[in-house]
Structures are given as C-alpha cells and as structure tokens.
Chains A and B, each alone.
Chain A
Amino acid sequence: MKLYAYCLIEDVETFDASSRGISGDAVRLLQVDEFAVLVSDFDSDTVAVTRENALDHAAVVRSVLDRTTPLPFRFGTLVTEQQLRSYISARKPALQTRFALIRGCVEMSVKIIRELSTVSGTTGSHSKITNGTTFLEEKRREIRGSEQSAAEAQEISTWLHEQVKALTRDEEVTVRSSEKLVVAAAHLVERDKIPQYKETAADARKKRPELHFLLSGPWPPYSFANIELEFKSQFGVS
C-alpha cells in the first residue's frame, strides 16, 4: 500500500477525519519528526491526471491554509511510508529552511498579457521571397523585432518587481518575450500584507493601461515549495 502525499505542514496536530482527497479516499495526518504530512492510502501505482484529481489535490492542500502555510508536494506523489520518513529525515535542514521562507505567507499571482499589436517578431514562412539577400534582410528585421520584444518584456517584469517589492518576501517570475502572456509572477506575501498588496497591484494596473492583468490569490505557496524534484530524483516519483 502506498501513500499519496499532499503537503508537508508544521504546527498542526489534528485534522478533520472526514476530509476526502484523491478518489474520495480519507485524508489523514502522518507525524514525521517535527513535521506532519497530509496523506491518503492509495492502492494503485499511478495517479490518473484528471481535472477531478487535480482539484482534489488542491482542495486538500488548501484546507489547511487557514491554519498554517503548507509545503505542497507535486501532484501525483506516491511513496511508501518508509520512503516518506526517510526523505524527511534526510532533508530536515533543507525543509526547515524552506518552512522558514514560507512561514506566515501565501502566494499571490500576477499574470500580464501584452496587447497583440505590441508583440513583434514573427516566425512565419518566407515562401514569397526568392532572393537570398532579401531573405537575410527579412531575418535581420525579425531578429531586431525579437530583441526589442525581449527588452520590452524585461522592462515589464522589472517594473512589476519595483511596484510590489516592498510587500513581497520572495518571487518567482517567468518572462516569455515571444508570447502574449509575457510575464507570470508568483509573489510570496506575508498574510497581514495581503490587503496592501492587492491595493498596490490594483494601483499598478491603472498605471499601465496598455497591459492586461490577472491577479489571483491567496494560494498555497506552490511556486516556492521546490521539494518535488528532490523527491523525484530520490524515488523516481512521477
């Protein structure tokens, strides 16, 4: 029998026994050293990647967010109890450091779309061009456009960082200069700063009407957990 692991938590000693997780299985609290792990017993060796299972996983992780800040495991993490205990014992200092970072915080998300007209650089075919020199001239124009687009994307990312840096403990930012969804930022925000963060983000939106924003949260700090890769490399969990 394997365990499906949802998240690591601290300072929580009880959990609602009626809670259900993936496939409707009961979720329980497994104490391991100074931490606890939300787990459910799991018969199979694989977890179906379905919308329902993903939402079940998220709901379990979310269910403790009002009491503590969890370190979520990657969706689909199946282990034996011995592996779980061994992993936590071996990684205790790293997990303590990670908890120190996220403690008392939640994740807030900002996604930014650029207007289509400002996205430059194309990758279209050049079927109408028959001249080698013209082809290279066109490539030069495309490369310049891509460079300009990358510079604009970086400017947006830097601008966003400047707007909220006083209210964030950490951030994970992805910049994709060739796409409309140009910036996806996850901000680690202390809970008592959430109202101020939202206000600041709303003000920032007004300053850049040419950009389209999607603000969301508070979420469990998925972007700051970073424990799944170690797990994968150690146990081959996928």
Chain B
Amino acid sequence: MELSPENPLSAEPEIETSHPEEFVEQLRCVTDSLPSRINIDAEGVEQGLAKLVLTLIEFIRRLLEKQAVRRMEGGDLSPEQIEELGLALMKLEAKLQELKTQFGLTDEDLNLDLGPIGRLI
C-alpha cells in the first residue's frame, strides 16, 4: 500500500483484551525482570556478583538434576546410588536456597532473560 498525503494511515493503535488486569500483572513482571543499570555501591556490587554466581550455580544444578534423572531412568544406577545421588542434589538445592535467602534473592532473580532465546532456566 503506497502512502501519500491523500492516503495516510489513520488507524490509531488499539489494545484489545478481555483480561486487562491479568496482562498488566504479567507485563509488570516482564518490566521488573528487565536488566537494571549497575549501581556502583558496595552493597549493590556484592548482590550483583552474588546474583551472577548463584545464577550459574543454579543453571549447573539443574543440569545435574536432569542428568541424574536420565541415569535413573536409564537403569544404570543401583537403588543405593539413586538414594545417594538424590540426597546430594537435595542438599545442594537446600544450600542454594540458603544462599539466595542470605543475599535477598528469589528464584525469579536467578532466571536471566537472554532476550530472543528466552530465559536461562
């Protein structure tokens, strides 16, 4: 469609939904997860570093869990090994939860938004 002064696009943007509150809530979550600028103050740096390190640990922990479940399903682990592996992963999860609490971080804080390829976790 060619645009010209005689043929302009007159349509104003419209927003249509039957669930406005729900979308406002979800879009606020997206806004909150956008990367904020780095504040160079001691407390901010400490928490920022903790967030980065814990995010990597969380990512690796989830990979380990998936690998453990695959091995369990594959039948190449004895019941004792499954129990031992499960306990180790359970303690790791509990420890990470403790560290998150210590640094005031939530699960969502560790789920980095990687843009077009989605969330890390």
Contact = CB atoms under 8 A, between A and B. Distances in A.
B68 A180 contact: no
Given A104-B1, A143-B69, A181-B26, A133 B90 contact: no
A134 B85 CA distance: 11
B19 A126 contact: no
Interface in B18-71: 18-19, 22-23, 26-27, 29-30, 37, 65-66, 68-69
A132 B11 contact: no
B10 interface: yes
B86 A66 contact: no
B15 A181 contact: no
A180 B66 CA distance: 23
B2 interface: yes
A132 B83 CA distance: 4
Contact of B2 (A62, A104, A139, A178): A104
B75 interface: no
Contacts, number: 120
Contact of B86 (A131, A178, A212): A131
B102 interface: no
Given A106-B9, A218-B9, A133 B86 contact: yes
Contacts of A215: 14-17
Given A174-B116, A181-B26, A215-B15, A135 B87 contact: yes
Contacts of B94: 125, 127
A235 interface: no
> Which applies to chain B's interface (DSSP): helix, strand, loop or mixed?
helix
A65 interface: yes
A129 B86 CA distance: 10
Chain B interface size, as a band, is 35 or more
Contacts of B3: 66-69, 104, 191
Contacts of A192: 1
Interface of B: 1-3, 5, 8-11, 13-19, 22-23, 26-27, 29-30, 37, 65-66, 68-69, 72-73, 79, 82-90, 93-94, 97, 107, 116, 118-119, 121
A214 B15 contact: yes
Contacts of B85: 132, 136
A176 interface: yes
A190 interface: yes
B68 A113 contact: no
B15 A216 contact: yes
A143 B118 contact: no
Contact of A181 (B27, B88, B118): B27
A66 B93 contact: no
Interface in A127-154: 127, 129, 131-136, 139-140, 143
Nearest to A140: B69
Contacts of A85: none
A131 B87 CA distance: 7
A113 B9 contact: no
A66 B11 CA distance: 8
A212 B17 contact: yes
Closest A-B pairs by Cβ, 6 of them: A132-B86, A132-B87, A192-B1, A214-B17, A136-B86, A66-B8
